[in-house]
Chain A
Amino acid sequence: MALLGVENISKLFGGVAALHDVNFAVAQGEIVGLIGPNGAGKTTLFNVVTGFIKPSRGRILYEDRVISELAPYEVASLGIIRTYQKTSIFPALTVAQNIAIGHHRRGQPGFWSVLFRTRPHREERAETNGRIQEILKFLEMTWAADFLAQNLSYGDQRKLEIAIALSSQPKLLLLDEPAAGLNPEETTGLMRVIKRVQDQGITILLVEHHMQLVMGICEKIVVLNYGKKIAEGTPGQVQNNEEVIKVYLGEEVEDATSC
């Protein structure tokens, strides 16, 4: 059964179709790659799935439930968590606080409990702290707990983004170009992390330009171009798809003199 279903999604910005009748499904436990040239609509699709923008047509199904009308925090509360293409963290807070915010949706004791520091509040704090340690260990970032997020190196900030997302215990994790700007070594590290996240039973939908990473870890790849899906399949199938090759490598100019 598909965990996420993208059904006939179109998104028009004025007269421009950022997405045109896109269909695909993500199965439980899979890593699905979403690729395509810049401006193909990948990030728009992420925004539609996570509720930040409403589709013009079509619907998003998640666990057999239509979610395309929900607000972003409601989508998140169902376990769909995203990261951003541009590094997106809570800069002036410590790494531990950053991760604690990811945990926000998991524990919410009542107002009075917080005010009088009664047991639900204390339990939530203990659980959050435990979760922070767990995630820091998982990402080998224990050393960074008390650093301000803005003082981390670029590579570590990108890792922190994943840490924040993970601490909210997603079922479906949407990563928007997680490898952008990383050096080869960091990219290899990232691939390992993504694999280990998958091992925890988390389904992943991934936008990425780094082909080695995409081909290396994705079980299925969806290719978008100008808002349309032009191919879908295993890495092998996609690599040999003529249309995909045309988009990525271009085609011969037929006749330059005709104009």
Chain B
Amino acid sequence: MNRRRYVFHVILGILILALPLIFSSTYARHILVSSGIFTLLCLGLNLTMGYTGQTPFGYPVFFGLGAYTTAIGFTYLGTNFWHGLIAAPVLAGIFGFLIGYPSLRLRGPYFAIVTLAFAEIVGLILNNWVSFTRGSMGIPGIPSPKIVIPGLIDFTFNQELKWYYLVAAICAFYLLVNRSLVRSYVGEAWLAIRENEDLAEAVGVHTFKWKMMAFVVGAMMGGMAGCVYAHYYNIVSPDLVGFYYITTTFAMVIIGGRGTLLGPVLGAILFTAVPEYLRAAKTMRLVLFGVIMLLGIIFMPQGLNGLITDIRGRLPRRK
């Protein structure tokens, strides 16, 4: 890594640490945390959608599954956040595998449809199995995470500021995992599938296996994001697998930049912050939001990340 990049990374790191101190209102910090949670979700989605080029329409179902795993675990078994942080991705991963196994073998829209149908089924169950999931009322009272070592530490994540650093740490973890995978022969296989599945297969890429891996890892990431969500908002409801999350996460990844490492992060931050700013526009808010999205898709086909690379490429190069 050259010196300039190193300096850039250090500055970026300091900025990320200082962000909630600059925006110090509870409200601003809340927006930061919630864009962090969306970042987690988008980083998982990007593996399948951005790198392998498959479209898992129902992807947020893993978010919902993760959230409900920890919520139900807490309600019936008394588990805490840290149990959920393991259990949610495991369960989401298992379901990802079960859905991917039949549908990723087929080309065409089947995979998109099967994931969407699965999300629909899970939504129906969450809504209607009232005795177990409390239906549309959701499960409230999920406690904030604690770190307790008797006599030494008794720390509760009960403020936005503390949450910010927790979520930022998990984001960093996700990014490191994604970076390792993407910058390896695994990432090359994924891109090959997106670009030309037949040719990939013809030179010996086991396309099914790699699509499956991207999907399952992405599902696990979504599951873990769900667990974080549940303990931050203290409540889960069937909305988590609904259309709002589908459209939002897809818009975030597309506008941010599919198949790029940081694109989903940019998209998630933008799409959490901008609607908040647009609140001033009241009823016009969603309309404006739609217009911004359309313009984004037309003028930034590579997403924000592509736009930035583009601008950087046009700047005179300094040696």
A interface vs B, CB < 8 Å? 50, 52, 71-73, 76-77, 81-82, 84, 88-93, 97, 100-105, 107-109, 114-117, 121, 124-125, 128, 164-165, 168
Question: A102 to chain B: which residues have CB within 8 Å?
Answer: 203
Question: B189 to chain A: which residues have CB within 8 Å?
Answer: 101, 104
Q: Which of B184, B188, B204, B207 lies in contact with A81, CB distance below 8 A?
A: B204
Question: B188 to chain A: which residues have CB within 8 Å?
Answer: 97, 100-101, 104
Question: B205 to chain A: which residues have CB within 8 Å?
Answer: 73, 101, 104-105
Question: B199 to chain A: which residues have CB within 8 Å?
Answer: 84, 88-90, 164
A32 CA / B21 CA spacing, docked (Å):
71
> Are A82 and B202 in contact, with the CB atoms below 8 A?
yes
Q: A88-B198, A101-B191 are in contact. List 9 more A-B contacts (CB 8 A).
A: A72-B202, A76-B204, A93-B191, A100-B185, A102-B203, A114-B181, A114-B185, A115-B177, A164-B199
A128 CA / B184 CA spacing, docked (Å):
10
A168 CA / B203 CA spacing, docked (Å):
7
Q: Does B186 contact A (CB under 8 A)?
A: yes
A259 CA / B205 CA spacing, docked (Å):
57
Encode B6-44 as 1/0 by CB contact (under 8 A) with A. Answer: 000000000000000000000000000000000000000
Q: Which of A91, A109, A117, A164 lies in contact with B203, CB distance below 8 A?
A: A164
Question: Distance (Å) between the CB of B316 and the closest chain A CB?
Answer: 19
Q: Which of B181, B195, B198 lies in contact with A84, CB distance below 8 A?
A: B198
Given A90-B192, A104-B189, are A115 and B180 neighbors across the interface (CB < 8 Å)? yes
Q: How many residues does chain B have at the interface if contact means C-beta atoms less than 8 Å apart? A: 22
Q: Look across to chain B and name the residue whose beta carbon is closest to the beta carbon of A103.
A: B185
A115 CA / B187 CA spacing, docked (Å):
12
Question: B2 to chain A: which residues have CB within 8 Å?
Answer: none
Q: Does B279 contact A (CB under 8 A)?
A: no
Q: Look across to chain A and name the residue whose beta carbon is closest to the beta carbon of B199.
A: A88
> Are A114 and B204 in contact, with the CB atoms below 8 A?
no
Question: Distance (Å) between the CB of A132 and the closest chain B CB?
Answer: 11
Q: Does B276 contact A (CB under 8 A)?
A: no
Question: A50 to chain B: which residues have CB within 8 Å?
Answer: 202
Q: Does B206 contact A (CB under 8 A)?
A: yes
Q: Which of A71, A77, A107, A115 lies in contact with B185, CB distance below 8 A?
A: A107
> Are A104 and B203 in contact, with the CB atoms below 8 A?
yes
A76 CA / B177 CA spacing, docked (Å):
29
> Are A114 and B180 in contact, with the CB atoms below 8 A?
yes
Given A101-B192, A104-B185, are A73 and B198 neighbors across the interface (CB < 8 Å)? no
Q: Does B131 contact A (CB under 8 A)?
A: no
Given A73-B206, A91-B195, are A101 and B200 neighbors across the interface (CB < 8 Å)? yes
7 A-B pairs with least C-beta separation: A105-B204, A76-B204, A90-B195, A101-B192, A114-B184, A72-B201, A73-B206
Question: Distance (Å) between the CB of A54 and the closest chain B CB?
Answer: 15
A108 CA / B189 CA spacing, docked (Å):
11
